[in-house]
């Protein structure tokens, strides 16, 4: 059984938008817009700002990928294991979030953890998008 990515929109306006995947993408990974003129989405990396959203579905390169965005939306997002209430930023691992740090100062808070997953390792964890 597949893991649900969209947990609850919390009354917030969750938007599910279609993009063409510019590379292989797995549901729950954090995405950015391609800087090329091909209108594709790619896995977000540490130097990425802003984030488009989170992949709702798996997609191979060239296929359509549904991307969830919206402030206050609760999702299962690919991230490192953290305690509840930790702010998250794009990590050095493409498509994954990690605990926020202010170095460099350009790092943006993307989400916050909603559960204690500190013993679980990296994977899909319940978070709320900012």
E-strand ranges in 1-130 read 6-8, 15-21, 30-33, 40-43, 53-55, 64-69, 74-79, 87-90, 97-99, 111-113, 123-129
Range of the domain at 85: 74-129
Per-residue pLDDT of 81-97, as tens digits, reads: 999 999 999 888 999 99
Residue 52, pLDDT score: 92
In the block, residue with structure tokens 């930790």: 86
Please tell me whether residues 83 and 123 are part of one structural domain: yes
For residues 60 and 66, is the Cβ–Cβ distance under 8 A?
A: no
Out of 69, 99, 116, pick the residue that ends a domain: 69
Residue 106, pLDDT score: 62
Q: How high does pLDDT run on average in the chain?
A: 87
Please tell me whether residues 58 and 102 are part of one structural domain: no
Kindly state whether residue 2 falls inside one of the protein's structural domains: no
C-alpha distance from residue 42 to each of 12, 20, 59, 80, 106 (Å): 25, 9, 11, 19, 20
Please tell me whether residues 54 and 18 are part of one structural domain: yes
Kindly state whether residue 7 falls inside one of the protein's structural domains: no
Residue 1, pLDDT score: 34
Kindly state whether residue 5 falls inside one of the protein's structural domains: no
Per-residue pLDDT of 2-51, as tens digits, reads: 568 888 766 667 899 999 999 999 999 999 998 877 889 999 988 666 78
Residue 76, pLDDT score: 94
Number of domains in the chain: 2
* 116-120: average pLDDT: 87
| Nearest to 107, CA basis, from 92, 90, 94, 95 | 90
């Amino acid at each position: 059984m597949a893991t649900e990515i969209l947990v609850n929109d919390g009354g917030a306006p969750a938007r599910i938008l279609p993009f063409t995947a510019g590379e292989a993408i797995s549901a729950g990974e954090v995405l950015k817009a391609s800087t090329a003129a091909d209108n594709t989405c790619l896995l977000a990396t540490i130097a990425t700002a802003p984030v488009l959203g989170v992949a709702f579905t798996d997609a191979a390169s060239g296929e359509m990928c549904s991307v969830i965005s919206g402030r206050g939306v609760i999702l299962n997002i690919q991230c490192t294991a953290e305690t509840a209430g930790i702010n998250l930023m794009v990590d050095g691992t493409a498509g994954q979030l990690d605990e926020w740090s202010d170095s460099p100062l350009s790092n943006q808070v993307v989400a916050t953890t909603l559960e204690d997953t500190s013993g679980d390792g990296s994977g899909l964890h319940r978070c709320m998008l900012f």
